[in-house]
Amino acid sequence: MKSAVFATLLASAAAFAPVAQKASSTMALSAFTEEVGAQRPLGFFDPLGLVADGDQAKFDRLRFVEIKHGRISMLAVAGYLVQESGFRLGGNIDLAGTKFTDIPNGFAAFAALPTAGVLQLLLFVGLLETGIMKDVTGTNEFPGDFRNMNPEGGLDYGWDTFTDEEKLEKRGIELNNGRAAKMGILALMVHEQLGVSLLPQA
């Protein structure tokens, strides 16, 4: 009887021993530990195990989405702060005479914008998403490279003047700024809804 109980306990313990799985998972993740963005203090950070299988195509897709959302968030933070500073375009926003200065900042702007204006914004974002902000030519060097160079040349923004080390550094800077901006715009939106501004009051 004792030996049967011991054998059962031993089998149960063996069921929870993740030796092979842990080794394969570690080998799969090691493929990404040297990627751009795996920086101190966290290093490669994937708490949900989204790329635990080591799938490079999945990693590239997630990196592309991370970069895109980071760029959008950086623009969002800059736009939020510019509007909070009181800057508005001159003139009218529609033919009815609604002025840009009549549109409030933050979430309240959605209710104040004319319906046609909201539709124009959605159409513009859709155009960017489907036709411009992607690798159109298939010549990108890395996820998020939207220069869309062609053999005859095109807009390069001076990227090819940088060394490989400088390129890696700048890509890392963009990733970290995008990550910070995502947290920043989230904090600004949440505090606006709470009625507690994070910005200094005059």
Higher per-residue pLDDT: 16 or 199: 199
The CA distance from 137 to 143, in Å, is: 13
Query: Residue 154: what pLDDT?
Result: 60
CA separation for the pair 198, 36 (Å, rounded): 31
pLDDT at 111 over 50: yes
Which is higher by pLDDT, 14 or 53?
A: 53
Q: How far is CA 174 from CA 69, 166, 180, in A?
A: 11, 12, 10
- % of the chain surpassing 90 pLDDT: 21
Q: Record the pTM.
A: 0.75
pLDDT at 11: 46
Q: What is the pLDDT of residues 21-60, one digit of tens each?
A: 444 455 555 677 778 777 777 677 777 888 888 888 888 8
**Does the structure show a pLDDT above 50 at 150?**
yes
Encode pLDDT of 113-130 as tens digits: 888 888 998 999 999 888
Q: How confident is the model at residue 199 (pLDDT cuts 50, 70, 90)?
A: confident
Task: Give mean pLDDT, residues 154-163.
Answer: 77
Q: What is the CA radius of gyration of the chain?
A: 25
- Provide the CB-side half-sphere exposure for 90 (13 A, CA): 0
**Tens digit of each residue's pLDDT (9 = 90 or more) over 62-80:** 888 899 999 999 999 999 9
Euclidean distance between CA atoms 123 and 103, whole angstroms: 20
